[in-house]
């Protein structure tokens, strides 16, 4: 019986931090466009088309397209793998995910940028 309990505890810690392990602390967002546009998020400038890497857990962001002053909201919500972690690993894994920011994800991974 002790061996089974030890294995269960070991397995729980092995899978803890599921979002951290599966999805990491950052998220890639693809900015697609038919021509080059200058865009910014939090004062960082990019030229589309490109892929940007956003740190998870920093809240909602606004992407601004400079050529047409268009804004695109990037909303942050709870990552679905965080819920799987709660069901399988409980407190240790969910704490890890919350502290690393991995429990969050942005609502868009592919953004089409066009100015009219």
Q: Provide the pLDDT for residue 10.
A: 52
Which structural domain range is residue 104 located in? 2-113
Mean pLDDT of successive 10-residue stretches along the chain, which has 116 residues: 58 50 81 95 94 92 94 89 68 68 86 91
Domains held by the chain: number: 1
> How much is the pLDDT for 64?
96
Looking at residue 93, what is its pLDDT?
Answer: 63
Can you tell me the distance from the alpha carbon of 111 to that of 108, in angstroms, rounded to the nearest whole number? 7
Q: How far apart are the first and last CA of the chain?
A: 68
| Token pair 């709870």: residue | 78
For residue 88, the model assigns a pLDDT of 64
């Amino acid at each position: 019986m002790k061996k089974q309990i030890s294995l269960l505890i070991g397995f729980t810690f092995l899978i803890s931090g599921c979002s951290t392990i599966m999805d990491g602390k950052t998220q890639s967002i693809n900015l697609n466009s038919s021509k080059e546009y200058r865009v910014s998020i939090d004062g960082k400038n990019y030229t589309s088309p490109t892929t940007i890497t956003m740190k998870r857990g920093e809240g909602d962001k606004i992407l601004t397209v400079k050529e047409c002053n268009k804004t695109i909201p990037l909303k942050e919500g709870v990552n679905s793998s965080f819920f799987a972690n709660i069901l399988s690993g409980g407190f240790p894994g969910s704490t890890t995910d919350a502290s690393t920011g991995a429990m969050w994800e942005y609502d868009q991974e592919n953004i089409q940028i066009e100015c009219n």
